[in-house]
Chains A and B, each alone.
Chain A
Amino acid sequence: MSSNAPAEPLVLRWLKAFGAFWWDFFVGDTPEIFLGTVALLVVVTLASVVGHLHQLGAALLCIGVLGVLALSVAKAARATKG
């Protein structure tokens, strides 16, 4: 890369740093927690808000949260073994 390439505007650099900070905060090295939670919320929305199955929504939410946690720790344990 050329050393005299024009520097990025300060606002752009600040926005990138801001985005990177929040990306790291919510996703970071555990994308499965972020994606698993989003997927779970979509399923619960479909059950409770769209399908009006409010009690099923509650059960799905509890089981799903434990499932996401189990998935994430299993992934980390597998990575350690490998």
Chain B
Amino acid sequence: MTAHTSDIVLVLAVFLACAVEMVEALTIVVAVGSTRGWRPAMQGVGLALGALTVLVAVFGPALTKVPIDVLRFVVGSVLLIFGLQWLRKAVLRSSGFKAKHDEDAIFAETVAELGALDRSTSGDRQAMVMSFKGVFLEGLEVVIAVLTLGASSHRLPLAAATAAVALVLVAVVGAIVARQLSMVPENAMKMSVGLMLVSYGTFWTGEGLKVHWPGADLMLVGLVAIYGLGVLALVQVLKGQHRNLVEVGS
């Protein structure tokens, strides 16, 4: 596989992972901003971005010092577990066994929580903490994706730049559409990211364990296709089971 193809897969995976997590974080920030004012909301965002930047600055260079086979095995294992969790949720949502991620519901829930806070300085502090937690926890998943994917493919600057572009883009789009975040096809995006994380995870773990991939690096694209077909089959089987369940229940 040419460097271009692997770069495209890397950019796609990081961009989608970053965008989908930032949509979730933005929902909370917009809820805090529109309910308690933008000052505590932006203070929380600033603190969270600062903390995430420190994590990247500390762990990014450290990861490049680890021997490549060890790094690929460890990173691959992390990506496999992480990606399988994403894929599981996306499959269950697509088949009806789990409710779709509802940004409107999260927005309403956050607004209700904020409404219960008093109108004092401590209330503002709690609003800031809510904004911080939303951005930090969602951002942490992005940091893990950027560091693991970027470091193991020796493309950390490209991965970080892609994440930064996605962050800015989501922030700009979010500022324009504000309350229409629920229109983002989040489940489809999560499914794509899960597929790419699991494919990268399989590939790097295999490299770390010295397996022979047919077609060498090109197998990464093959893995996306194999897992894509597997996931489609799983969704179809589960959809049938869910339909039967609904019919029996009604």
A residues with CB within 8 A of B: 26, 28, 30, 33-34, 37, 41, 44-45, 48-49, 54-55, 57-58, 61-62, 65-66, 68-70, 72-73, 76-77, 80-81
Q: Closest residue to B219 on the A side, CB-wise?
A: A58
Give complex CA distance A77, B209 in Å.
33
CB–CB A69/B206 < 8 A: no
Partner of B88, one of A44, A58, A61, A69: A69
How many residues belonging to B are interface residues under a CB distance threshold of 8 Å?
35
Partner of A48, one of B85, B201, B209, B231: B209
CB-CB under 8 A from B223, the residues of chain A are: 62
- Tell me whether A55 and B212 are in contact in the complex, defined as CB-CB below 8 angstroms, given that A62-B223, A65-B198, A72-B84 are known contacts: yes
CB-CB under 8 A from B234, the residues of chain A are: 69-70, 73
From residue A5, how far is it (CB to closest CB) to chain B in Å? 28
Segment 223-248 of B: residues with Cβ below 8 Å from A = 223, 226-227, 230-231, 234, 238, 241-242, 245
Q: Closest residue to B73 on the A side, CB-wise?
A: A41
Q: Closest residue to B91 on the A side, CB-wise?
A: A73
CB-CB under 8 A from B213, the residues of chain A are: 58
Residue in A30, A44, A57, A62 whose Cβ sees the most chain B Cβ within 10 Å: A62
CB–CB A65/B227 < 8 A: yes
Segment 62-89 of B: residues with Cβ below 8 Å from A = 77-78, 80-81, 84-85, 87-88
- Tell me whether A41 and B209 are in contact in the complex, defined as CB-CB below 8 angstroms, given that A73-B91, A73-B234, A77-B241 are known contacts: yes
CB–CB A77/B85 < 8 A: no
From residue A17, how far is it (CB to closest CB) to chain B in Å? 14
CB-CB under 8 A from A41, the residues of chain B are: 77, 205, 209
CB–CB B230/A69 < 8 A: yes
Give complex CA distance A57, B206 in Å.
8
From residue B235, how far is it (CB to closest CB) to chain A in Å? 9
Give complex CA distance A15, B78 in Å.
21
CB–CB A37/B85 < 8 A: no
CB–CB A61/B92 < 8 A: no
CB–CB A61/B211 < 8 A: yes
CB-CB under 8 A from B242, the residues of chain A are: 77
Give complex CA distance A68, B227 in Å.
12
CB-CB under 8 A from B230, the residues of chain A are: 66, 69-70
Q: Is B38 in the interface zone, CB < 8 Å from A?
A: no
CB–CB A54/B202 < 8 A: no
Q: Closest residue to B245 on the A side, CB-wise?
A: A81
CB-CB under 8 A from A58, the residues of chain B are: 206, 211-214, 219
